[in-house]
């Protein structure tokens, strides 16, 4: 199984001499519907929240806001700021297309989101609900009795609910063929980041439950009987609960779905039927093998997370409101090639990428960090251009020092905090090379910096199901980069198209364990004036009642800090 996955990894590399196997053109006839619907399922429309600024983004990393009570209203905002539509775009002579709060490779959105909820005022009962980003509504897949719900959450922190994520590989395979496995799991990591950030705004903590395996998850999410290329594959279940305790007990980490409940659900027909997404499909055998080889049967209790050394606080904080940033986030399609990023903004982004023990945001992933970051610094004030490395775990250092080119200097850049595990490797202008390695995309050269995420694949030999989790970690890092860029008044773009071994050759990586699993760029995006932008949900906003609900939401950020942030200043 591990060998199949590692063979998949090698075969899905792009290189200077050729790209991984893909259709090579866009077959518009079979373009997959980006919206899963469950026809016939009872639907609960969610009131639309306002576009409020929310608490200061940078402060989220220091302390959680007071936990919001769980209600359909708070859940509406939670989804509005994580998986909802954020805008519609239109080019001359083409049909409009939607964009979402969570980014996706090629905007194809393979990730589907679910909530598992207790009985709430305004909903019929506890149950499992699919989130429809198109209609900002919940589609019931299963109703659960109050007793069944109590059984589900027994042993978990009071006030726990769950979010589940699944992937429809076909959506990415339609365009990208064999490389789709990677993109689906990058996207999943971005969605995890979007959920964790939105939960944090609500004062809720989120944790990917490590022991929950795919078969049980598929049953509870009611996707286990889906067949064929459009089938959803269950990926992970998150527990989300009020962020009051700092440490999680062993019971939470080893949580499993109750066996008796799963047995009862075995023969229960789910509510609603999945819509068909495409009229036809191409087979991608290597992708299928990768999906099967990475399947996770559950039972792993996770690992203790570890801390990077504390970095002294970087001032001043950005005054941007988190809710505003989450909904404003956009991928730059071109970079201006001249803007530089200030030293403070750059440091703030670096410090937000470092895991800090059992705390937000990386405690979301119940394992020790596996990903460190190689930076192409182009225009960062106070830093000379060149290659740099951010060690996201002290445990990576020995292996990376051994693996990377012996001539790399590993110097702490002058003027940066000593405690920051950020090293200057080599000086030079790497703009052209960064673009070349990124499939000749100039977004990698025209920004302030680009980076490659170096992941330790050692575990994949023993635990093939760890392979997708490495992409989740990369996606989460990417989501923080997108938002860190926005907070600095810049934009980011994920780069899934890059020449794997081109990067490895540059830094001296000769094979496993270190492999570059995702690239990213940050800079000043150039707006394409030919595209029109329209707000999301304009049709739903017109419906009676949402104006009133928006007013109430706007008033829900009440502390002096939140109000100051909403007005764009620091307290």
Ligand X SMILES: Cc1cc2nc3c(=O)[nH]c(=O)nc-3n(C[C@H](O)[C@H](O)[C@H](O)COP(=O)(O)O)c2cc1C
C-alpha R_g of the chain:
22
- Tell me how far, at minimum, the Cβ of 297 lies from ligand X, in Å: 26
What values do phi and psi take at 245, rounded to 5? -95, 145
187 binds ligand X (CB under 6 A): yes
Choose the binding region for ligand X from 172-180, 184-192, 199-207, 343-351 (rule: CB under 6 A). Answer: 184-192
DSSP E strand boundaries for 64-134: 85-90, 97-100, 111-117, 126-132
To which H or E segment does residue 516 belong? strand 514-523
Give the contacts of 529 (CB within 8 A, at least 6 positions apart).
none
Between 423 and 482, whose beta carbon lies closer to ligand X?
A: 482
Choose the binding region for ligand X from 73-81, 98-106, 139-147, 546-554 (rule: CB under 6 A). Answer: 98-106
436 binds ligand X (CB under 6 A): no
Between 97 and 410, whose beta carbon lies closer to ligand X?
A: 97
Choose the binding region for ligand X from 102-110, 308-316, 373-381, 419-427 (rule: CB under 6 A). Answer: 102-110
Between 98 and 340, whose beta carbon lies closer to ligand X?
A: 98
How many CB atoms are closer than 10 A to CB 445? Answer: 24
Place of tokens 């923080």: 480
Written as six digits, the tokens of 164 are 């589940």
DSSP code, position 231:
-
- Tell me how far, at minimum, the Cβ of 46 lies from ligand X, in Å: 21
- Tell me how far, at minimum, the Cβ of 521 lies from ligand X, in Å: 9
End-to-end, the C-alpha distance of the chain in Å comes to 54
Expressed in percent and rounded to 5, the helix, strand and coil fractions of the chain are: 35, 20, 45
DSSP code, position 294:
T
Between 180 and 387, whose beta carbon lies closer to ligand X?
A: 180
Between 163 and 453, whose beta carbon lies closer to ligand X?
A: 453
To which H or E segment does residue 153 belong? helix 146-153
Count of residues near ligand X by CB under 6 A = 20
- Tell me how far, at minimum, the Cβ of 474 lies from ligand X, in Å: 8
12 binds ligand X (CB under 6 A): no
Figure out which of the listed residues 67, 106, 258, 413 binds ligand X, where binding follows CB under 6 A: 106
- Tell me how far, at minimum, the Cβ of 529 lies from ligand X, in Å: 16
Between 103 and 270, whose beta carbon lies closer to ligand X?
A: 103
- Tell me how far, at minimum, the Cβ of 561 lies from ligand X, in Å: 28
- Tell me how far, at minimum, the Cβ of 155 lies from ligand X, in Å: 35
445 binds ligand X (CB under 6 A): no
Q: What residues from 457 to 496 belong to the interface with ligand X (CB under 6 A)? A: 493-496
How many CB atoms are closer than 10 A to CB 383? Answer: 23
Written as six digits, the tokens of 292 are 């099967």
SS3 470: helix
441 binds ligand X (CB under 6 A): yes
Between 118 and 468, whose beta carbon lies closer to ligand X?
A: 468
In the sheet with 233-242, reading across from the earlier edge strand, the strands are 43-45, 137-144, 126-132, 111-117, 161-167, 233-242, 204-208
Choose among 438, 474, 479: nearest CA to 457.
474
Between 103 and 210, whose beta carbon lies closer to ligand X?
A: 103
Figure out which of the listed residues 54, 55, 65, 103 binds ligand X, where binding follows CB under 6 A: 103
Is residue 198 within 8 Å of 84, Cβ to Cβ?
A: no
Figure out which of the listed residues 261, 443, 455, 536 binds ligand X, where binding follows CB under 6 A: 443
190 binds ligand X (CB under 6 A): yes
454 binds ligand X (CB under 6 A): no
67 binds ligand X (CB under 6 A): no
Q: Please classify residue 167 by burial: count the beta carbons closer than 10 Å to its beta carbon, then call 0-12 exposed, 13-18 middle and 19+ buried.
A: buried
Place of tokens 């492999």: 515
Instruction: Give helix 169-176 / helix 180-201 axis angle, nearest 10°.
Output: 130
Figure out which of the listed residues 219, 327, 330, 424 binds ligand X, where binding follows CB under 6 A: 330
Q: Give the rounded distance of the alpha carbon of 373 from its chain centre.
A: 17
Between 442 and 556, whose beta carbon lies closer to ligand X?
A: 442
Is residue 85 within 8 Å of 100, Cβ to Cβ?
A: yes
183 binds ligand X (CB under 6 A): yes
516 binds ligand X (CB under 6 A): no
DSSP code, position 461:
H
Between 187 and 320, whose beta carbon lies closer to ligand X?
A: 187
497 binds ligand X (CB under 6 A): yes
Place of tokens 């954020």: 86
The residues that touch ligand X, with contacts defined as CB under 6 A, are: 99-100, 103-107, 183, 186-187, 190, 330-331, 441, 443, 493-497
């Amino acid at each position: 199984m591990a060998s199949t996955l590692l063979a998949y990894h090698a075969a899905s590399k792009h290189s200077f001499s050729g790209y991984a196997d893909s259709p090579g053109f866009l077959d518009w006839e079979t373009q997959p519907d980006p919206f899963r619907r469950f026809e016939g399922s009872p639907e609960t429309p969610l009131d639309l929240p306002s576009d409020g600024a929310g608490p200061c983004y940078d402060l989220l990393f220091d302390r959680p806001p007071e936990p919001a009570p769980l209600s359909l209203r708070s859940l509406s905002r939670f989804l509005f700021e994580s998986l909802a539509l954020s805008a519609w775009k239109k080019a001359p002579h083409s049909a409009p297309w939607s964009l979402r709060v969570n980014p996706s490779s090629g905007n194809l959105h393979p990730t589907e989101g679910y909530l598992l909820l207790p009985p709430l005022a305004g909903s019929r009962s506890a149950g499992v609900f699919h989130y429809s980003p198109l209609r900002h509504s919940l589609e019931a897949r299963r109703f659960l009795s109050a007793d069944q719900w109590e059984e589900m959450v027994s042993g978990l922190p009071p006030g726990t609910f769950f979010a589940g994520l699944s992937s429809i590989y076909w959506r990415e395979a339609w365009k990208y063929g064999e490389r789709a496995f990677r993109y689906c799991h990058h996207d999943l990591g971005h969605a995890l980041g979007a959920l964790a950030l939105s939960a944090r705004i609500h004062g809720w903590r989120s944790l990917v439950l490590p022991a929950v395996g795919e078969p049980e998850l598929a049953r509870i999410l009611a996707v286990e009987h889906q067949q064929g290329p459009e089938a959803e594959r269950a990926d992970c279940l998150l527990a989300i609960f009020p962020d009051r305790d700092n440490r999680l007990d062993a019971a939470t980490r080893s949580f499993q779905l109750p066996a008796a409940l799963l047995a009862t659900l075995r023969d229960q027909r789910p509510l609603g039927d999945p819509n068909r997404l495409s009229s036809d499909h191409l087979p991608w055998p290597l992708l299928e093998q990768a999906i099967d080889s990475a399947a996770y049967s559950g039972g792993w209790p996770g690992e203790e997370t570890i801390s990077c050394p504390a970095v002294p606080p970087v001032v001043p904080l950005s005054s941007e409101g988190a809710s505003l940033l989450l909904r404003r986030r956009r991928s730059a399609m071109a970079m201006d090639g001249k803007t530089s990023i200030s030293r403070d903004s750059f440091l703030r982004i670096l410090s937000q990428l470092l895991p800090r023990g059992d705390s937000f945001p990386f405690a979301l992933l119940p394992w020790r960090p596996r990903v460190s970051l190689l930076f192409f610094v182009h225009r960062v004030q106070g830093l000379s251009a060149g290659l740099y490395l951010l060690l996201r775990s002290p445990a990576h250092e020995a292996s990376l020092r051994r693996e990377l080119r012996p001539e790399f200097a590993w110097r702490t850049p002058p003027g940066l905090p000593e405690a920051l595990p950020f090293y200057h490797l080599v000086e030079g202008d790497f703009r052209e090379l960064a673009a070349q390695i990124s499939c000749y995309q100039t977004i990698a050269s025209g920004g302030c910096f680009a980076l490659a995420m170096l992941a330790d694949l050692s575990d994949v030999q023993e635990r093939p199901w760890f392979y997708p989790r490495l992409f989740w970690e990369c996606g989460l890092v990417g989501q923080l980069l997108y938002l860190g860029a926005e907070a600095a008044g810049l934009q980011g773009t994920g780069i899934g198209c890059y020449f794997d071994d081109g990067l490895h050759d540059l830094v001296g990586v000769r094979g496993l364990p270190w492999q570059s699993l995702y690239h990213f760029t940050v800079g000043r995006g150039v707006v394409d004036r030919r595209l029109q932008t329209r707000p999301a949900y304009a049709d739903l906003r017109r419906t009676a009642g949402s104006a009133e609900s928006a007013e109430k939401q706007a008033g829900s950020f009440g502390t002096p800090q939140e109000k100051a942030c909403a007005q764009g200043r620091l307290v």
